Amino acid sequence: MPQVAIFMGSASDEEKMRPCAEVLDTLGVSYRFTITSAHRTPERTAKLVSELEKGGCQIFICGAGLAAHLAGAVAAKTIRPVLGVPLTASPLGGMDALLATVQMPPGFPVGTLALDKVGARNAAWLAAQILALHDDDLAARLRAKRQGFIEAVEQAAAELEG
């Protein structure tokens, strides 16, 4: 069973949320990547949360635009961490989704990341860091990736400075 669930509000969100799955792949974290809607399929959303939670899923990542209620709908059904990725899908440039995702009532928090692909990537990194609290192998993989980032910056600086 997956450790992380990645939910999108519609198929049109896949391009923006795919980087989340890619990061989890590179870290060796199992996940389920699917579509469910807070408004169009609320029963499916509740059923998925229940089934995945019973199967051991530890973290839910939800990407949605417009009213962006998916993360809140999931947070209402679980006490596991829910990470929200607001997506740009309206003339408001994602501000509607950002505010809908970040403004949750007390007791039902959603950890809100940046918009679109950057938020999707960071949601995966944050989910992995949470999982690494109890997984030393994953923690080592995270440290190795971070070291790779450091080395890439140092290499770029050395090349620039000649």
CA distance 135 to 139: 6
Domains identified in the chain and CATH numbers: 4-134 (3.40.50.1970)
pLDDT band of residue 51 (cuts 50, 70, 90) is: very high
> Phi/psi of residue 65, each to 5°?
-115, -170
pLDDT band of residue 157 (cuts 50, 70, 90) is: very high
**pLDDT (0 to 100) of residue 33:** 98
User: Does 26 have pLDDT greater than 90?
Assistant: yes
CA distance 137 to 82: 23
**pLDDT (0 to 100) of residue 108:** 97
The residue type of 71 is A
The residue type of 61 is I
**Which of these, 143, 124, 123, lies nearest to 30 by C-alpha position?**
124
State the average pLDDT over residues 44-52. Answer: 98
pLDDT band of residue 1 (cuts 50, 70, 90) is: confident
> Phi/psi of residue 57, each to 5°?
-60, 135
User: Does 162 have pLDDT greater than 90?
Assistant: no
Q: What is the mean pLDDT of the chain?
A: 97
Instruction: For residue 55, count other CB atoms closer than 10 A to its CB.
Output: 12
CA distance 38 to 44: 9
pLDDT band of residue 129 (cuts 50, 70, 90) is: very high
**Which of these, 79, 67, 89, 73, lies nearest to 11 by C-alpha position?**
89
